Structure 1
Amino acid sequence: MLTSARLDVANDLLGLLRDSGTEPRPDTQLEALTLAVAADLPVLLWGEPGIGKTAALGQLAEALDLPLTTVIASVHEPSDFSGLPVIGDDPAVQGVPMAPPDWAVRLVRAGRGLLFLDELSTAPPAVQAALLRVVLERRIGTLRLPPGVRIVAAANPRSSAADGWELSPPLANRFVHLQWVHDHDVVVRGLGGTWPRASLPRLDPALLPDAVAYARRAVCGFLAARPALVHQLPTSETRRGGPWPSPRSWEMALFLVAFATAAGTSREVLSLLVRATVGDGPGLELLAALDRMDLPDPETLLADPGNAVLPERGDLRQAVLDGVVEAVRKRPERSRWEAAWVVLVKAMETGAPDLVVVPAGDLAALRREDWDVPAAIDRLTGAISVSRRADREGVRAA
């Protein structure tokens, strides 16, 4: 057999090995990535070498039907991103235009695509500075990337990068930082020929105005209560190269909350995205504020306690019961006090009884001398001895 024929057979085998398919499969980090791409926010994937960041971008581009343009940031000069000066006929009159590189021209001609900036953490500071305009203003030289182009970057932690640098704070603050880790089951099934399928989120057109209003109310209300978190530059160099709160990153968080709301995204995906923009601490505080926004109004529960709908999560249910007791404390009336007991009974019958203990004790302490102990209290005696506590508090008040 001729050598060329043998190579043809080898190529056939390689083709079979590289042939793979996709399947719909829950993948939290892939869903977070596609949602951020849909929101047109620059994404930075952090992960150890060989974890599959580059392969994931190739699959994403194929699934979204976007031409993939890969640029290795570490092997380029600053002028490759800011543009190369080209001297014309009369520079004194016409100036010196900055010519963009060929890959930027191809993206503009196509009108759409996925720009993948790889090895970002090994790019020297001068190149990182040149990338600021590319990431924020989407300009390379005199060209402006069209709206159909999305930007995704990848980087290795400095400890595992070849001659790595920490990202500069201005560049880091322009990205949604997603930690990319491998999933054992996904890797095994992928090596078997089937990878998870990336797809853009389905946004409900009817929910768009409400999603925007909800996101603005959530982020603005949170920052009004926590003004110190509007801008908080980390003190350590390593943390400055990751997500941290600034007006720019809070705007990205607002966009992601709106997109996640319109798409009906899971809390786990939203948590990844919010923490990827403003950091873990501020992100978790915002998520807690979002949870409180969804809690039922205590006044609504007191007005119709028999039909009260309480959250399933224990921490949220506890917050609701505490809110009901606080509402009675602010406006103590016998009808409201009795309605609160009905809410507590329903909480005990539909959830963990121990969540009722503290609110029941606080509510019993609000009893006035002329208020009879309601029959609803007897239904709580299996969990706590509330009746005797209410009687003791009544005697003490008298």
Structure 2
Amino acid sequence: MTVHTLRPSLPPHAADSQLDVAGELLALLGEVKTEPRSNTQLEALTLAVAADLPVLLWGEPGIGKTAALTQLAESLDLPLTTVIASVHEPSDFSGLPIIGDDPATQGVPMAPPDWAVRLVRAGRGLLFLDELSTAPPAVQAALLRVVLERRVGALELPPGVRIVAAANPRSSAADGWELSPPLANRFVHLQWTHDHDVVVRGLGGTWPRASLPRLAPESLAQAVAFARRAVCTLLAARPKLVHQMPTTETRRGGAWASPRSWEMTVRLIAFATAADASRDALSQLIRGTVGDGPGFELLTSIDRMDLPDPEALLADPGAAELPIRGDLRQAVLDGVVAAVRRRPERARWDAAWSLLVNAVETGAPDLVVVPATTLAALRRDNWEVPAAIERLAGVVSVSQSAEHAAARVAARVGR
């Protein structure tokens, strides 16, 4: 036989006391510190928030998207307004019609919900649209004006309000939907993942501090000019990238290239340049706005914008400073050889060989093989092989290649 021992019930005041103690314990658990810490995700997020662009955080459930937004609002001293998109009706975003005294002359105003009124009264805040991927298509359509025009019913959200959303991939969302292309194209999409070290240190009571980027006032004009030149240079050379709507439903619900998203990209590059942001953060922002393919092309184009002028290198090869990164160094050497091909002269040919020797002595020798072979093919019959070529021995047999190339050219001409 099982005997149950009944514990005496606590007096009411004793129960209240235990709840107070429990409250103290909860308060202690809620006390956390923040510290400056390099975090690419936070850097990209705060840059987009500073640029006043809607951001959509994609991540699996429980990854910390909501916690990151809460901490961001506290760090920026912005009141946080959370709206679960999936539990609202379309009218909660487009406004409820309210019949006035004389609808025939005054029309029917669209009354906004209380959370929008509170944001307007505060004049600033962080509007967090959570569970966006569980919102049905009708609600997504109603959100278009909120995200792009910042209007909720008849109210216009003040400039001090920033919009951030969060979503789970459809495979892990409860009754999830793919985002409609018009809504998806209005966001900067950031993939939110957990960092093991950040999580462990955070559970110990210290999380990374989210802070707005420090913009250099003296570089604002140059940052805008650089951003416009970066995007326009690429699109002038690759006009097909201006508008590329993906063919699959899933990809249309993410980042893809359009005139709207390219305009957002210009803004992000300007802010990242003025803030001297890391390249990893800029990469996340660009790819999260126009997609991976166009984003990588733009990043490559930006890298090459600051490369030295081949003509300047040929004019003074002794003072040349070649890029350290292998892909950029390869691009510079290819540009030098192309410049010699456009205007083949003995002095320029010799200067190009000096640059190749410099490249071998200061970097990976294998990068010189293709430019050296191409340069050797440009030799004229009356051009002596410069002594500098001997310093490339063991990397590529350029002296022999030059002779063979000259013979092949002569044979082609004789045909």
- In the alignment, is residue 240 of structure 1 matched against residue 269 of structure 2? no
Which residue of 132, 137, 148 maps to 2:149? 137
Match of 2:283 in 1: 271
Q: Who is 1:60 aligned against?
A: 72
Report the Cα distance in structure 1 between the residues aligned to 2:384 and 2:246, rounded to whole angstroms. Answer: 57
Structure 2: tracts of 5 or more residues without a match: 1-9, 411-415
SS of 1:332 mapped into structure 2: coil
How far is the alpha carbon of 1:397 from its aligned partner? 5.8
Deviation, 1:392, is 4.1
Aligned-partner SS, 2:383: coil
Question: How many Å apart are 1:394 and its aligned residue?
Answer: 4.8
What is the Cα deviation at residue 384 of structure 1?
2.6
Bigger mean CA offset, 224-233 vs 42-51: 224-233
**Distance 1:397-1:179 versus aligned 2 partners, 3 A rule:** closer
Partner of 1:42: 54
Query: Where in structure 2 are the equivalents of 1:358-369 lying within 5 Å?
Result: 358-369=370-381
Q: CA deviation digits over 1:120-174, x for unaligned, max 9?
A: 1111111111100000000011110111110000011111111111111111110
Amino acid of the residue matched to residue 119 of structure 1?
E
Per the alignment, residue 371 of structure 1 pairs with 383
1:317: which partner in 2?
A: 329
Gaps of 5+ in 1: none
Q: 2:355 aligns with which of 343, 347, 361?
A: 343
- Partners of 1:249 and 1:77 lie apart in 2 by 28
Equivalence map 1:83-94=2 (5 Å)? 83-94=95-106
Corresponding letter in the other structure for 1:145: L
Aligned residues of 1:244 and 1:278 also touching (Cα < 8 A):
yes
Bigger mean CA offset, 302-311 vs 227-236: 227-236
Whichever of the two has the greater Rg, that structure is 2
The amino acid of 1:309's aligned partner reads E
Matched AA of 1:195: W
TM (normalized to structure 1)? Answer: 0.97
Q: Please identify runs of 4+ aligned residues in structure 1 that moved more than 3 A.
A: 391-398
CA separation in 2, counterparts of 1:166 and 1:373? 64
Question: Which stretch of the first structure deviates more once superposed, 49-58 or 208-217?
Answer: 208-217
2:307 to 295, 306, 316: 295
- Per the alignment, residue 169 of structure 2 pairs with 157
Does 2:196 match 1:184? yes
Contact 1:369 1:397 in 2 (8 A): no
- Alpha-carbon distance change, 96 to 358 in structure 1, aligned in 2, over 3 angstroms: same
**2:320 aligned residue (305, 308, 324):** 308
Q: Is the 8 A contact 1:369 1:395 kept in 2?
A: no
| Deviation at residue 272 of structure 1 after TM alignment | 0.5
CA-atom RMSD in angstroms: 1.3
Residue from 11, 15, 35 that aligns with 1:23:
35
Q: Which residue of 1 aligns with 2:3?
A: none
Deviation for aligned residue 1:93 = 2.5
SS of corresponding position for 1:66: coil
3-state secondary structure, aligned to 1:355: helix
Q: By how many angstroms is 1:49 displaced?
A: 0.6
Provide the C-alpha distance between the structure 1 equivalents of 2:134 and 2:309, rounded to a whole number of angstroms. 52
Q: 1:69 is aligned with what amino acid?
A: T
Counterpart in the other structure of 1:105: 117
Q: Which one of the candidate residues 90, 104, 108 is aligned to 1:96?
A: 108
